[in-house]
Structure 1
Amino acid sequence: MSNSENQLKTGFCEIRHASRLSVAPMMDWTDRHCRYLHRLMSKQALLYTEMVTAPALVRGGAVHLLAYNPEEHPVALQLGGSDPKELAAAARMGAEAGYDEINLNVGCPSDRVQSGTFGAVLMKSPGLVADCVAEMAAECPVEVTVKCRIGVDDQEPRDLLPAFLEAVRAAGVRRVTIHARKAWLRGLSPKENRDIPPLDYPLVHAMKAEFADMHISVNGGIMSLDEAMVHLAQGLDGVMIGRAAYHTPADVLLQADRRVFGVDRETDPVAVVRDMLPYIERHLVAGGKLGQVTRHMLGLFAGQPGARAWRRHLSENATRPGAGPDVVRAALEFVQPKAA
């Protein structure tokens, strides 16, 4: 085996280990500021970008969408698209930018995504998905993965999902994250598609039993680290958490390294805020705005004394002209334990 093949194999092993717990790609939420914050809370969990469309990168030249902080590793780029050649070119761009994984979105149900014939609508075309990931893998030296639903509209998930997994496995994919809900492409909004279609965790577990050689993670409706640990104990390879990791990040991420990865490391929200201050200062010097960072920090103290005052102070002051780190320091006074 060559050195490059050894490095590739090592990279695959590391990213698969990280994917025991991942934070879901979420539009308008998991930008690079959010990911930097999450990385301070967990050194081990796998982080995902917001979905970036292949046309924006390849035809639009929007390479700024690939920007990230080196501290974010391990970090995956999620792509949206349906043209195999275009996705291959975008995947190559992502790998050259240094991302540890390239993920194809086959789950987003928004009207905008459907109009571009990608996202969840691709569940209707497993052959096309297979063509896409095969082309991506041929052009990309890092692992290509898929995030999908269990089906869409009137499809029968217990018939559709095995055929879908068989198609992408035959194309070379060995790691899939399954959102355990159908997506209804008409009649439900994207928000409703995250809540209304019933969850079918047993189906995802059945797919792991049927496709034992594949690395399968579950996503959808998982609100705590305790719930994640149950899925792992029952045999799934990974768990992806979305909204809970964003709204109550301390509950999900602060104990993740110890409980999920067996690494003796924990921190606390106050220390995380203090560690964010140098990052905030660099962002402001570069011309950024305080609110671009602090909007992701509002839930840090959820459920703790002073959390409401923390959120209110940041919300009311972070967008004011000239707002800087002192706003965060002042907000921290509401939640820090007071000396006796």
Structure 2
Amino acid sequence: MMDWTDRHCRVFHRLLSRRARLYTEMLTSAAIIHGDRVRLLGFDESEHPVALQLGGSDPADLATSARIGEDFGYDEINLNVGCPSDRVKDGRFGACLMAEPKLVATCIDAMKRAARIPVTVKCRIGIDDQDPEISLDRLARGVIAAGADVLIVHARKAWLDGLSPKENRDLPPLDYDRVYRLKAALPHVPVIINGGIASLEEASAHLAHVDGAMLGRAAYQDPWRLLNVDPLLFGEDAPHASMKDAFEAMLPYIERELSRGTRLHAITRHFVGAFHAVPGARAFRRHLAEHGVKPGAGVSVLQDAIALVEERSAPAIAA
């Protein structure tokens, strides 16, 4: 979710579910060690529980980054071994590390020694010509032996040779059964499934076989789904009765950010799918697109956009 799940997005999503665990966009260990840590790692206290997702392949650097993340207050450190982008491959991190399971295990061991909070791994079932029965099992057993607390498995291969990053999100066939078999083989290990899950009903069905389900694009593109997470999956009331109520609760945060020099569009760009299939949604998007990008745009732009949309309460939202 690079360039998507920044801190503004996560504050918004937290207003839709108290219980869902939020993940940062992937940050490289080099950026954290040498970059502006406050800008890269700063987050709002309301985001908890929130996990820091790291990219890298140097055990010492990842250990340092994990310790820094813990000091910043994150609840989990996640090592990404699944991202197929060209930037990731060239930097020897992400999905290409599926070919180096021993190195990944060494990285996890170093991170576990450096941080007291949970350290988790997000991976694919394999890459290129690897046999998923062998590649996933080898990586999983290696990182678990090294101390990984949770495995998050995107149930697709990544084809680093021949497919673009965008194509890798859709074209390789999904193999949920392979993830189920991993869980059956490692019953004591928490396994979370990811990839192509388009609704909370699908996520709930997966929970008969694994310990958790991760939504990426479905949650970002149609965030209204998150209003049903707590009622459907945890038996608790949603934080807000409707998307409009959630936006009302978001206004103080937006005003604080604007006073610090943040542009309105940097925040409202995450709201595009908020009213999917609701009368007035197109007018809402158009108003934000036309007025939210203007210099000096304030919360009134968002309020005026919301006024163009009909109300819809959380219980009426279908997953």
The answer to whether the superposition gives a TM-score over 0.5 is yes
1:184: which partner in 2? 159
CA shift at 1:187, angstroms? 1.3
Counterparts of 2:4 and 2:135 in 1: how far apart (Å)? 31
Counterparts of 1:46 and 1:261 in 2: how far apart (Å)? 13
Counterparts of 1:79 and 1:90 in 2: how far apart (Å)? 8
Q: Which amino acid aligns with 1:37?
A: F
Describe how 1:231-250 pairs up with structure 2 within 5 A: 231-232=206-207, 234-250=208-224
Displaced runs of 4 or more, over 4 A: none
Look up the SS of the partner of 1:181 in the other structure. strand
Counterparts of 2:127 and 2:31 in 1: how far apart (Å)? 26
- Aligned partners of 2:121 and 2:151 also within 8 Å: yes
1:7: which partner in 2? none
- Aligned partners of 2:85 and 2:164 also within 8 Å: yes
Equivalent residue for 2:283, pick from 293, 309, 322: 309
Look up the SS of the partner of 1:36 in the other structure. helix
Deviates more, 1:57-66 or 1:189-198: 57-66
Equivalent residue for 1:256, pick from 229, 232, 249: 229
Describe how 1:43-54 pairs up with structure 2 within 5 A: 43-54=18-29
Counterparts of 1:241 and 1:196 in 2: how far apart (Å)? 18
Deviates more, 1:263-272 or 1:31-40: 263-272
Q: CA RMSD in A?
A: 1.2
Look up the SS of the partner of 1:150 in the other structure. strand
The unaligned stretches of length 5 or more in structure 2 are 313-319
Counterparts of 1:110 and 1:171 in 2: how far apart (Å)? 26
CA shift at 1:62, angstroms? 4.0
Counterparts of 2:159 and 2:71 in 1: how far apart (Å)? 36
Equivalent residue for 1:35, pick from 7, 10, 17: 10
Describe how 1:101-250 pairs up with structure 2 within 5 A: 101-232=76-207, 234-250=208-224
Normalised TM-score (structure 1): 0.90
CA shift at 1:166, angstroms? 0.8
Q: Which amino acid aligns with 1:284?
A: L
CA shift at 1:64, angstroms? 2.2
CA shift at 1:61, angstroms? 5.2
Match status 1:329 vs 2:303: yes
Deviations 1:106-125 (A, max 9, x none): 00111111111110000001
Normalised TM-score (structure 2): 0.95
The unaligned stretches of length 5 or more in structure 1 are 1-25
CA shift at 1:264, angstroms? 2.8
Counterparts of 1:264 and 1:134 in 2: how far apart (Å)? 39
Counterparts of 2:5 and 2:303 in 1: how far apart (Å)? 24
